[in-house]
């Protein structure tokens, strides 16, 4: 999507939307959550891979194997990672849309003030 930049006029400039909404912290937070979800998924893959080297008997207690449970658990962890990544993507999208709406409003106000000042100066000269 991309973030709108503040309007820079001849007489007036717009305030940055970052004074109203700390978009950088939101995006950094989403990135940090994504990284942790990725690490957890990597650990799950490592566990699953390690378990695949063992036969069902090595992972059994009283004749009941844990191999299927381990694989299911690791698959579920990977599914959760996908959900987290999708959720943080939605958060980023909503935060950027909110930021851009705020910046658009601030830009409009500054442009109007800039135009009014330009017209006022033109009339007095």
pLDDT at 54 over 80: no
| pLDDT per position as a tens digit, 65-79 | 666 777 888 899 999
In angstroms, rounded to a whole number, what is the distance separating the alpha carbons of residues 54 and 57?
8
Helix, strand, coil in percent for the chain, rounding step 5: 75, 5, 20
Residue 67, pLDDT score: 66
The pTM of the full predicted model, rounded to 2 decimals, is 0.80
Residue 57, pLDDT score: 67
> Where is 65: in which H helix or E strand?
strand 64-65
Q: Are 74 and 44 in contact (CB under 8 A)?
A: yes
């Amino acid at each position: 999507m991309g973030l709108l930049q503040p309007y820079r006029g001849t007489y007036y400039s717009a305030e940055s939307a970052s004074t109203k909404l700390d978009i950088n912290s939101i995006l950094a937070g989403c990135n940090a959550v994504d990284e942790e979800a990725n690490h957890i998924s990597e650990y799950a893959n490592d566990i699953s891979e390690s378990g695949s080297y063992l036969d069902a008997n090595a992972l059994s207690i009283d004749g009941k194997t844990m191999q299927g449970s381990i694989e299911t658990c690791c698959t579920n962890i990977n599914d959760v990672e996908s959900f987290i990544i999708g959720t943080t993507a939605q958060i980023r999208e909503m935060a950027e849309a909110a930021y851009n709406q705020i910046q658009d409003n601030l830009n409009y106000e500054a442009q109007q003030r800039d135009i009014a000042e330009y017209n006022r100066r033109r009339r007095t000269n």
